[in-house]
């Protein structure tokens, strides 16, 4: 009986030891009033990383609204387009003429002044008016930059016949009258005369 009791006591002790060892991996709740530490990769309730793991809007990876990657809320600087204020129409010098008008984009119907030049190009004489051609010389023809209203003016123009050509970055356009889109702007200039071509259009193929 004594041996049996000792063996029962040892068996009970071993069983309690194994149960205690097997339960050692179960975490015990923190004492009341103590806040548990949150892992650095824990997600917030809406699925977004918390501040310990920088996501959109964080310092390590700035998102929309951040300085390194401005989003839709960021204010952007608008470049001021080139151009100049309208200037007075010049007075013809002795033996010369003046030509002026306003040039518009024929598609948008807005003043042309950004990145274009207006040239006064001589007309090649012909016995047949229907066969007249304009000789465009970008280096030698009188040229001017339109103002912000599309206005342009040429002073001291020698008497003769001219076509008004707009030079854009990729093409040159012989202008047409706004009130007659089938008619090219070809004019005659006489000494002492001021020719106002009015509103003309550029952009035709």
Q: Locate 138 and state its tokens.
A: 């970008």
Full-model pTM: 0.60
Q: Which residue has the higher pLDDT, 121 or 125?
A: 121
Q: How confident is the model at residue 41 (pLDDT cuts 50, 70, 90)?
A: very low
- Region 124-143: what's the mean pLDDT? 90
List all residues 6 or more positions away from 65 whose beta carbon is below 8 Å from its beta carbon: 57, 71, 73, 74
Percentage of the chain lying above the pLDDT 70 cut? 60
DSSP state of 33: T
Phi-psi label, residue 65: left if phi above 0, alpha if psi -120 to 50, beta otherwise? left
- Express each pLDDT in 51-73 by its tens digit: 444 444 444 444 444 444 333 34
Q: Which domains does the chain have, with CATH numbers?
A: 97-202 (2.60.40.10)
Distance CA 180, CA 202 (A): 13
Distance CA 178, CA 55 (A): 57
* pLDDT value of residue 83: 76
List all residues 6 or more positions away from 120 whose beta carbon is below 8 Å from its beta carbon: 99, 141, 142, 143, 154, 157, 162, 163, 164, 165
């Amino acid at each position: 009986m004594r041996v049996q009791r000792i063996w029962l006591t040892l068996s009970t002790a071993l069983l309690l030891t194994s149960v205690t060892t097997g339960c050692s991996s179960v975490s015990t709740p923190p004492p009341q009033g103590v806040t548990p530490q949150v892992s650095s990769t824990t997600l917030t309730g809406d699925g977004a990383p918390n501040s310990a793991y920088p996501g959109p809007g964080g310092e390590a990876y700035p998102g929309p609204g951040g300085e390194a990657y401005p989003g839709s809320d960021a204010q952007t600087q608008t470049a001021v387009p080139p151009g100049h204020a309208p200037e007075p129409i010049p007075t013809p010098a002795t033996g010369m003429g003046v030509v002026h008008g306003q040039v518009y984009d024929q598609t948008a119907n807005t003043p042309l002044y950004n990145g274009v030049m207006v040239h006064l190009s001589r007309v090649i004489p012909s016995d047949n008016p229907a066969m007249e051609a304009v000789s465009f010389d970008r280096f030698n023809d009188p040229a001017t930059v339109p103002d912000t209203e599309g206005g342009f003016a040429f002073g001291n123009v020698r008497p003769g016949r001219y076509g008004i050509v707009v030079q854009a970055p990729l093409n040159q356009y012989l202008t047409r009258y706004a009130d007659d889109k089938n008619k090219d702007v070809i004019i005659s200039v006489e000494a002492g005369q001021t020719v106002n071509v009015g509103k003309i259009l550029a952009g035709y193929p």
